[in-house]
Amino acid sequence: MSVAQGDRLQSVVHGAVLALIVGWVLYVGKQVFVPMVFGVLVAYVIIGLARALTALPLVGRWLPAPLRYLLSILGIGVVVAAGVSLVVNNFGRVVQLAPTYQDTLLQRIQQGAEFFGLRAAPTWTALREDFLAQVRLQDLIGSTVVSVTGVGMTVLIVLLYVTFLLLEKRVFPAKLRSLSDDPRDVSRIHQVLDSINSRTGQYLSVKTLVNVLLGVVSWAMMAPFGLEFAGFWAVLIAVLNYVPYIGSFLGVLFPVAWAIVQFGDPGTVITLLLLLASAQFVIGNFLDPYLMGNSLNLSPFVILASLLTWGGLWGIPGAFLAVPITAVLAIVLSEFPGTRPIAVLMSRNGRLDGRRGGPRGRAPAGPPA
C-alpha cells in the first residue's frame, strides 16, 4: 500500500470515527439539541414575518423594528393558541362521540373478521377484556401525563432560546467581524451564513405557505362529506406535510381511517381517499417544486435518508427537522475542498448553485445563522 493510499484510508477511518462520535453525542443530548434547533427555526420565522411586515402598504415602511417583531410574535402566538384550542376541543368531542361510533366500529371489526375468515367475530366485551389484559390504564395515563409535561417543558425552553436569539441579533454581525483579522475569512463566513439564512428562510416560508394551502384545500374536500373534526384533520395534514414523504401518507391515512369508522360506506370512503390523495399529489409534485425551486438543492434520496437518520436520532422531532438540518449541512460541506465532493453527491443535480453567490464583505441577516 502506497503512502497516499495509507493517508487516504486513515482519513476515511478518522472521518467514520468522528461521525460515530457526533451521532452518539446528538442521540444522548437530544433533550438539549432538539429545543435549540426548534428555537432557531422559530426565530427564523419571526424574523421573516417581521421583514414581511415592511411590505405592508402605507404603514409597512414606517413600522419600527421592535413593533414589527412584537406583531410577529403575537401573530405566531395567536396561531399556536388557536391550534392548541382546536386540539383540546376536538379531544373533548371525541370523548363525547365515542359511544355513538362504538357500534359502527364494532361492525367494521366484525366485517374484517369475517373477511379474513376468523371463526368468531369479536364483541365489545371481548375487545375490552383483551385490551385491559394487554394495557394497564394506570401506566397509560401516567405515560400520557409525562409526555404532556415534557412537551410543555420543551415549549418553554424553545421560547427561552428564541428570546435570547432575537436579543443576540443586533450584536451578531459585530461578533462575526471580530472572529478574524483577515477580511477574506470574515467575508467567507458572511457568505456561508448568508447562504444558510437565504435557503433556510425561503424553505420555511414557502413550505409553510404550501402547507397552509394544502390544509385549506383538504378541509374544503372533507367538509362537504360531513366528516367529523374536518378542521382538526386539516391542521394535522398541514403539520404532517413538513415531514417528507411519510407525512403525506399519514395525512391521508388518518382522516380516511376516521371516515371508515364514521361512514362505513365504501363509496364515500374511496371518494374521500382519492380526493385527499389527489390534493397531496398535485400540490406535492407540481406546486411545491414550482415555488420551492432549487432552494434546498438536495436529492430525493438524501432527503429520505436524512428523514430516517434524524428520525432515528431524535424521534418525531427529528423527522420535522431533518430537511432544514441537512440543507445547512450541505451548505457547510460545500465550502471546504475536502468535503465538497460529499456536498456534490448530496445535491439534486450535481451543481452547488449559490455556493459562491452570496455578497461579500456584508454581515448576514443575523441569527439565526
| CA 246-252-258 angle, 5° bins | 130
**Which grid coordinates belong to 160?**
427561552
pLDDT in tens, the chain (369 residues): 566 677 777 877 887 898 899 999 999 999 899 999 999 988 888 887 888 888 887 777 888 888 888 888 888 888 888 877 887 777 777 767 766 666 666 666 666 666 666 655 555 555 555 554 555 545 555 565 566 667 778 888 998 999 898 888 888 888 888 877 888 888 888 888 888 887 887 788 788 889 989 999 999 999 999 998 898 899 899 999 999 889 999 999 999 988 888 887 888 999 999 999 999 999 988 888 877 766 678 888 999 999 999 999 999 899 999 998 998 898 888 888 878 888 899 988 887 764 443 333 344 445 554
* Angle, CA of 74, 79 and 81, to the nearest 5°: 90
First to last CA, the chain: 43
Closest CA to 158 of 11, 319, 318, 42: 42
Closest CA to 37 of 294, 367, 278: 367
Are 313 and 26 contacting, i.e. CB atoms less than 8 angstroms apart? yes
Contact 281, 221 (CB under 8 A): no
CA angle 302, 307, 309 (to 5 degrees): 90
157 φ/ψ angles, rounded to the nearest 5 degrees = -65, -40
Q: List the chain domain ranges.
A: 176-369
Alpha helix (H) residue ranges in the chain: 3-28, 30-52, 65-115, 124-134, 137-168, 172-177, 183-222, 230-240, 246-262, 266-282, 288-292, 300-314, 316-333, 340-346
Any idea which residue has 463566513 for its cell?
A: 189
Assess contact for 244 and 323: CB atoms under 8 A: yes
Q: Which three cell numbers stand for residue 2?
A: 502506497
Total-model pTM:
0.77
* Per-residue confidence (pLDDT) for residue 360, from 0 to 100: 38
Task: Spell out the residues 6+ positions from residue 347 whose beta carbon is closer than 8 angstroms to its own.
Answer: 297, 298, 299, 330
Q: Retrieve residue 203's grid coordinates.
A: 424553505
pLDDT of residue 275: 96
What would the pLDDT profile of 224-281 be if each residue is shown by its tens digit?
A: 999 988 988 998 999 999 998 899 999 999 999 888 888 878 889 999 999 999 999 9
* Block residue for cell numbers 371489526: 109
